[in-house]
C-alpha cells in the first residue's frame, strides 16, 4: 500500500489514534460486541488521550482540527472496533450542527461540557435523511422564547447522551435542526435497538411528548435546516467513509495473517491464486476508498463543501467494506462464520454502513441523476 503525503502533524495524529486503537480498542472489541455494554472505560481513556471531539473550537479547549485530520483518526479508531469508535463518530456528527452555525454562545453551551468531562452527544438518524423522508418527522411548535417538540426519533448514542441533534418540521412543513436535551422531562426512552452490528453503540428510540426546549436551541434559523445540513452531511458522510475503511483494513489484515498460517496441499492458502486474487481486490479497493475519501476531505477543508465528492467516497467505502469483510469470512472458511474469530463481527459491522445515512441504492440513484444532469449540459 502506498504512503500518502501527510504532513508531520497529520502523521502524529494518525499514529496517536492507531496506537490507542491497537492497545485499548481492538483487544476489547469482541467483549463489547458480545455484551453490547457501554465501553465507558475505553472511551474515558480516549477522552483523556485527546481522541474525542477533535474538531471542537479552541475557544472551549478543543484542537479545532480540520476534517481531514479527524477522518484520519476516525479510520484508525474504527480499525480497532467501529462500534466503540462509533461514540466518537456520533459526537463529531452532533457537533457539526453547532459548528455549522458557529455561534459562540451555542459552542459554550453545548460543546464546552463535552470538553470538561467524558460526556456524550448523539444525533437523530433523521438528520441524515434526504428529501422525501419527512413524513414521519417530529413536529416543532415555536412560541416566543420556547419550542415544543412532539414525535418519535431514533438517536445514535442516545442512551447516555447529554444532548442530541434532530430534524423537525413545523405546521407549514418547514424543516429546522434542533438541539434537544437528552435527559430532560418530556422525553421517554422507549427501547434500545438490538442491532446486527456495532452492538455496543446504542441506538435508542425516543418519544417526545410536548417536549419543551428554549427557542435558542434551533440551530441557524427556524426553517433553515437545508443550510445547516449542507455543512453537516458532507462531513458526516466522510466520517462514515473513514469508519468503513477502518473495518475494511481490519478485515484485510486478519485475512493476510490467517492466509499465512492456514495450509492446504502443503502450502499456505495465501499462495493459492484464488485466495491471492481475493486479497489483491481487498488492497486495491481500500486504496481507492482512501483516495476518494482523502480527496473529498481536502475539498471540504478548502471550503468547497463538495457533497457529491463526499457521497461518492461514502458509497465506494461502504460497499468495499462489505465486500472485503464478506471475502474475509470466505477466506477463513467455516472458522470465519464462528464468533471465535473476528471476521464475522467485521461483516456485521460493515453492513451498518450500507444503510446509514441513506442506503447504497438511494445514494447510487442520486449519483446517477447527477451524472445524467451533467451529461445533458
Residue closest to 271 by CA, chosen among 282, 286, 261, 281 = 261
Task: Render pLDDT for 199-247 as a digit per residue (tens, 0 to 9).
Answer: 999 999 999 999 999 999 999 999 999 999 999 999 999 999 999 999 9
For the chain, the first-to-last Cα distance in angstroms comes to: 38
Burial class (CB in 10 A: 0-12, 13-18, 19+), 131: exposed
Please state, as a whole number, how many other Cβ atoms lie within 10 Å of the Cβ of residue 309: 21
Average pLDDT over the chain reads: 94
Give strand ranges (E) for the chain.
121-124, 139-143, 146-156, 163-169, 175-181, 187-192, 203-214, 218-219, 263-264, 267-268
Task: Render pLDDT for 116-163 as a digit per residue (tens, 0 to 9).
Answer: 999 999 999 999 986 656 778 999 999 999 999 999 999 999 988 999
- Residue 87 near residue 162 (C-beta atoms within 8 A): no
The fold adopted by the segment(s) 124-224 is Butyryl-CoA Dehydrogenase, subunit A; domain 2 (2.40.110)
Please state, as a whole number, how many other Cβ atoms lie within 10 Å of the Cβ of residue 116: 9
For cell 493459492, what's the residue?
272
Burial class (CB in 10 A: 0-12, 13-18, 19+), 67: buried
Q: Where does 226-375 sit in CATH, by number?
A: 1.20.140.10
Q: Considering the entire predicted model, what is its pTM? A: 0.95
pLDDT averaged per 10 residues in sequence order, the chain, 377 residues: 79 98 98 96 98 97 97 98 98 97 96 96 91 80 95 94 96 96 89 93 95 96 95 97 98 95 84 91 97 96 91 97 97 92 97 90 86 79
CB contact set of 118 (below 8 Å; sequence gap of 6+) = 40, 43, 44, 47, 52
Residue 303's SS3 state is coil
CA angle 223, 224, 225 (to 5 degrees): 100
Sequence spans of domains, the chain: 8-119, 124-224, 226-375
- CA dist 167 and 137 (Å) reads 7
Phi and psi for 209 in degrees, rounded to 5? -110, 95
- Residue 206 near residue 90 (C-beta atoms within 8 A): no
CATH class of this structure's domain 8-119 = mainly alpha
Beta pairing partners, 213? 147
Amino acid at each position: 500500500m502506498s504512503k500518502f503525503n501527510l504532513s508531520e502533524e497529520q502523521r502524529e495524529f494518525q499514529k496517536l489514534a492507531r496506537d490507542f486503537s491497537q492497545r485499548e480498542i481492538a483487544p476489547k472489541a469482541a467483549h463489547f460486541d458480545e455484551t453490547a455494554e457501554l465501553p465507558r472505560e475505553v472511551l474515558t481513556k480516549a477522552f483523556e488521550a485527546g481522541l474525542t471531539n477533535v474538531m471542537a473550537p479552541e475557544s472551549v479547549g478543543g484542537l479545532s482540527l480540520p476534517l481531514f485530520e479527524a477522518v484520519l483518526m476516525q479510520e484508525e479508531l474504527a480499525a480497532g472496533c467501529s462500534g466503540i469508535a462509533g461514540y466518537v463518530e456520533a459526537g463529531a456528527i452532533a457537533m457539526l450542527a453547532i459548528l455549522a452555525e458557529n455561534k459562540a454562545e451555542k459552542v459554550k453551551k453545548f460543546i464546552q461540557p463535552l470538553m470538561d468531562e467524558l460526556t456524550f452527544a448523539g444525533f437523530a438518524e433523521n438528520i441524515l435523511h434526504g428529501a422525501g423522508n419527512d413524513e414521519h418527522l417530529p413536529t416543532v411548535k415555536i412560541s416566543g422564547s420556547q419550542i415544543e417538540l412532539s414525535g418519535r426519533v431514533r438517536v445514535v448514542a442516545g442512551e447516555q447522551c447529554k444532548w442530541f441533534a434532530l430534524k423537525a418540521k413545523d405546521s407549514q412543513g418547514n424543516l429546522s435542526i434542533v438541539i434537544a436535551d437528552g435527559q430532560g422531562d418530556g422525553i421517554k426512552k422507549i427501547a434500545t435497538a438490538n442491532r446486527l452490528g456495532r452492538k455496543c453503540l446504542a441506538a435508542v428510540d425516543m418519544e417526545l411528548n410536548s417536549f419543551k426546549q428554549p427557542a435558542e436551541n434551533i440551530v441557524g434559523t427556524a426553517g433553515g435546516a437545508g443550510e445547516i445540513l449542507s455543512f453537516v452531511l458532507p462531513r458526516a458522510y466522510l466520517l462514515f467513509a473513514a469508519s468503513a475503511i477502518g473495518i475494511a483494513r481490519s478485515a484485510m489484515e486478519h485475512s493476510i495473517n490467517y492466509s499465512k498460517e492456514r495450509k492446504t496441499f502443503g502450502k499456505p492458502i495465501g499462495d493459492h491464486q484464488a485466495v491471492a486474487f481475493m486479497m489483491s481486490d481487498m488492497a486495491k479497493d481500500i486504496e481507492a476508498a482512501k483516495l476518494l475519501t482523502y480527496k473529498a476531505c481536502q475539498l471540504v477543508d478548502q471550503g468547497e463543501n463538495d457533497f457529491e465528492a463526499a457521497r461518492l467516497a461514502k458509497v465506494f467505502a461502504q460497499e468495499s467494506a462489505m465486500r472485503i469483510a464478506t471475502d474475509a469470512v470466505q477466506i477463513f472458511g467455516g472458522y470465519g462464520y464462528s464468533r471465535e474469530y473476528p471476521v464475522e463481527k467485521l461483516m456485521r459491522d460493515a453492513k451498518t454502513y450500507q444503510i446509514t445515512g441513506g442506503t447504497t441504492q438511494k445514494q447510487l440513484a442520486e449519483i446517477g441523476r447527477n451524472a445524467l444532469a451533467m451529461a445533458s449540459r
